Every structure is written in C-alpha cells, then in structure tokens.
Chains A and B, each alone.
Chain A
C-alpha cells in the first residue's frame, strides 16, 4: 500500500512537472515570436501647408494660384487603409483634423523591417456608408456626414474669400460620394526615403499642400465654384486635385 501511494505521488509530481514545462513554453511562445520578428514603432505625422509654409486656421489670409484670397477656417479629412508595403497598419478609419493636433500624429507598431511605400485612401469604405451608424472617428456627430443623401464627407476645406459670391463670402468644399459614377475615394501612394527606412523607430512626416486643391489635374477657382455640398462632378475634380497634395518630407 505504501509503495502504491509513493508511486502515485511520483506520478503526480511528474504530471505537474510536465504541466509546468508545458505552461512555461506556452508562456514564452510570444517572446520567441518577438525575438524572431522584432516590432518597430512607426510614427506618421501629417503637416498641413500652403506652398512651403505651415498653414494656420483663421489667422492668415493666403493667396491661391489664381490670385484669389482665402482664410481657412476648417480643414479635415478621413483616411483609411493606411498601409506600409501594401500591408495594412490598421483596419481603422482616421479623422485627421487641422484643429486637433493630436489627430495629426498616428503611431503604430509593425513587424515590417524595411518600409518603402506608404499608401492610404482618402475616403470611407462604401460598406461603412450603408451599414448603419458607426462609432469613434466615424460617428456622424463629427460632422463629416451628409444626412439627407446619406454618406460620409471624405474631406472638408472651409473658409472665407472676397472672391466668393456665395452667401457670407463662403468657400465650402465638402467632398464625398461612394456610389459610382461619383465615387470620390482616392488612393495615395508615397515612397519613403532610405534614411527614414534605416531609423530604429521611423517617423514619417507627410506634408499636405492645400494649394493643390485649386490647381492640379483640374483648375478650380473660388469665383467659379465656391460651394461643393454633394457627390458629383465638382467633388470628383476636387478629389482628383487633393489626391496629389501629399509628399513625404525629407
């Protein structure tokens, strides 16, 4: 009986030992994964400019390529499918808002060791336009949402200009639309310079030049088109134009 008992005890100890090592190795698995694929912190910072100068809301009057003055009061846009080397950093949609400096810096961790291309979409996936009310950055409460012909406003530039004949000399450019033939989402692709790639925790600064809204693929003057409030031709042209506004700062 005594022997039997001892055997049983040994058996239990062995089992426990086995369990101990099993759990230990399980617990260490993520660490092993970490050692094999070091993660890096990537910071992406958006800087909004008028030509070469950083822009300011309200306080300054700028001149567009056609000599028209404009004071900018609001500037914001949605970006989605943010990817490095075509691999998505996040499935989220981000609202970049000039008036909210924290919204302009995004930080990710990624296993990608040699970032070369950065891409994102200005726009909100069509599915998210038709699947009820979203939360967070996409809460319609943030104001970038058309409620009557419903869908997200992808980008907004708003200001005042003496060249505008609209009420209160307004310049209101709300660009959006997810239905063909007026789908205003645009994919942006940028190349990341080598010295940024080499950094341990790369910081990628993306400059957005607002002057491109007026003059890039299309010529859009304040005098002619001070207002854009719905999907359509003008929204498509504005989207074409601003899709060229991004560059990676050296």
Chain B
C-alpha cells in the first residue's frame, strides 16, 4: 500500500512540475449572476463552465477583425456596445467588400435565457450562432477552416486557449465556447425599470402611466422581464421585394410561418434603432404609426393585431417615457465588455 502511495505522490509531483514548466494555471471560475426574480437560464453552463480566461478569450475573438476574410469586420463591428450590441443607426448592417446584409443586427443581451437565435430562430444553440456571420459572404466572408488556421498561426491565441481550456488545441468548438462565454456575460438588468422593480427607485408620473399602458397593450408579446416572449409573430410588415424575407418560414418551411419574425426585446430600445427585422422603422414614432395605422393585415397576421392597435397621441407619449426607462447605461458603458484597453464611450448623452 505504501508503494501505491509513493507512486501516486511521485506522479502528482511530476504533473505539478510539468504544469510549472509549462506555466499552466487552472482557469479562474467566473460566477454567472442571475438577477433577482429572473428565471433559470436556458444555456447549459455545465457543458461550458464560465472562467475569467474563457471570457477574456471570447472578448478578444469578438473584437478581432482578422476573423473576417479581409480583416475588416469583427463581431463587434455590427454589434456595438453603445447600441446594446446592435448596429447603431444602420437599417441593414454591412459585410465585407461593401456588401449589405438583409437584416438589422439585433441587440445582444440576456442571451443565456434565449434558446433560438436569429430573427427566424433558425439557429438552436448560442455556440452555433457565430458560425453563420463568420461564413456568410455578406458578413465576415471567411471559412471556418480559414478562421481556425489564422488563430493557430497567431502568436498569442495558443497561449490564450491554453489558459482557458488547459491545452493549446484550437478548434471550432473551443472558439465558439469562448465566444459564448463572452456573450453570456452581456446581461442587461440595471435599467431604471429594474431599479424600480427592485424597490430602489420610483417611476416619474409619465413613466408610471406609460408602464400601465404597456402592461395593457404590449406586454403579452414583449413579456417582462426580458420584454420578449421569444415567440415568432407576423406584426403586419409587408414583404420587401428586394429582400424577399419571409422570416420563420425560411427556417420551418411551413406556410403558416410566413412573415413571422422573433419578437425583439425592448430592453435598451432607445439605443437600438432602427427597428424591425429589416430596420425599416427609424424611430419609435415610426413603430407606433405602423401599429396604429400602417399594418398590413394578412393570412398569418397575429390574432392580437387583426384590428391593428389603436394608440392615441397621449398613449404614445406615455409609452415613450416608459420605454426610455429600459435604457441600461451600466450595461452600455461596462468597460469589461469593451475591447481590451478601450473604455466604451457613448456618442450621445441626452436620450431621455
């Protein structure tokens, strides 16, 4: 028995020595905090435990222009922090070689509670999501093989992968897991609305009136606390004949899903304009006018909207006041989420 103990001690020492020679430290766990009263996340953290090293690697990848074919576009190019990780002021976001995508880049926030991605829900896992923009000809235009090769040949990435995953192996799975670790930390839960819900603040009168109207007219689809119920609905946007985007039907092949798109979250809505899957609405007023006047009611239009949605000017005013309480400046300015060594600056100061 003594021998066994001696041998295992020696083995441990040998491993420790090897680790010391290699300079390997196990990664430091990173705690994912679920905001009070929020449900359990849908992402399976057991399969991809968050670590500081994994998060930092993911952040570097997210902002690395070299992930695109000609080193001009990173994930962060179209997902800008000051716009809640949507594309500021662009209806359709841009890709490599002056190409244009066919959709408005959605905000990235609270992704741990989301199980399907894209406006049509065609991607069933957060780890799978980056594969699409990386390889689409009108986004980053690379091949997965090309991306992995660049990372393998880089001087710093093998070390960062070792720090995060214990060995310098770089493959698609590890890359996307690191990206997920960064994206999972994009949690927006500190807006004025959140503070009011936590009892730390109170609404001004127009905000409170707007919240009451919101709960009456909007919150079935834009459900709290995420301000989306994650469903796909046709809200009466007629198809654009240059984009020919039929939404959910592209993914399911079912005619009943024609023109249905994911209900977007309204968190940080004041900074995520333009609105709609193709960014056709440039302001909240455009959206309100759409619901009360311009909607095209057709076969697959949502049953809640068959008679459009009457909204008075008064209601629009109060709703706008409430929607502005969903802006989370702590999230928009969190330097941990910005590229390394760069503090995120907001290009506008007085949105409220």
Q: Tell me whether B48 is interfacial, beta carbon within 8 Å.
A: yes
Do most interface residues of chain B lie in helix, strand or loop, or is the interface mixed? helix
With contacts A133-B177, A150-B131 known, is A141 near B252, CB below 8 A? no
For residues 142 through 167 of chain B, which have their beta carbon under 8 Å from a beta carbon of chain A?
143-145, 148
Q: Kindly provide the distance from the CB of B269 to the nearest chain A CB, expressed in whole angstroms.
A: 26
Chain A residues with Cβ below 8 Å from B127 are 132-133
A232 within 8 A of B: yes
Decide if A182 is an interface residue (CB 8 Å cutoff): yes
Alpha-carbon gap, A232 to B252, bound state (A): 9
| Contact between chains at B128 and A133 (CB < 8 Å) | yes
* CB < 8 Å neighbour of A132 from B48, B120, B143: B48
B176: Cβ under 8 A from any A Cβ: yes
Selected from A141, A148, A150, A232, the residue in CB contact (under 8 A) with B144 is A141
Nearest to A139 among chain B residues (CB) is B172
Chain B residues within 8 Å of chain A by Cβ, number? 29
Encode contact with B along A131-146: 1 for CB under 8 Å, 0 otherwise: 1111100011100010
Are B125 and A132 in contact, with the CB atoms below 8 A? yes
Q: Would B123 and A150 count as touching, CB distance under 8 A?
A: yes
- Known A147-B136, A150-B131; judge A134-B124 contact (CB<8 A): no
Q: In chain B, what residue has the closest Cβ to A151?
A: B124
Q: Closest Cβ of chain A: how far from B127's Cβ, in Å?
A: 4
Query: Is B241 in contact with chain A by the CB < 8 A criterion?
Result: no
Docked-complex contact B125 and A147, CB < 8 angstroms? no
Partner of A149, one of B47, B48, B135, B251: B251
B132 near A147 with CB under 8 A, answer: yes
Asked whether any CB of chain A lies closer than 8 Å to the CB of B122, the reply is yes
Task: Answer yes or no: B118 CB below 8 A from chain A CBs.
Answer: yes
CB closest residue in chain B, given A126: B124
Residue B191, interface by CB 8 Å: no
Residues of A within 8 A of B251 (CB): 149
- Chain A interfacial positions (CB closer than 8 Å to B): 129-135, 139-141, 145, 147-150, 179, 182, 230-232
A-B contact pairs, 19 of them (CB 8 A): A130-B125, A132-B125, A132-B176, A133-B127, A133-B173, A134-B173, A139-B172, A141-B143, A141-B148, A147-B134, A148-B118, A148-B123, A148-B136, A149-B123, A150-B124, A150-B125, A150-B128, A150-B131, A230-B253
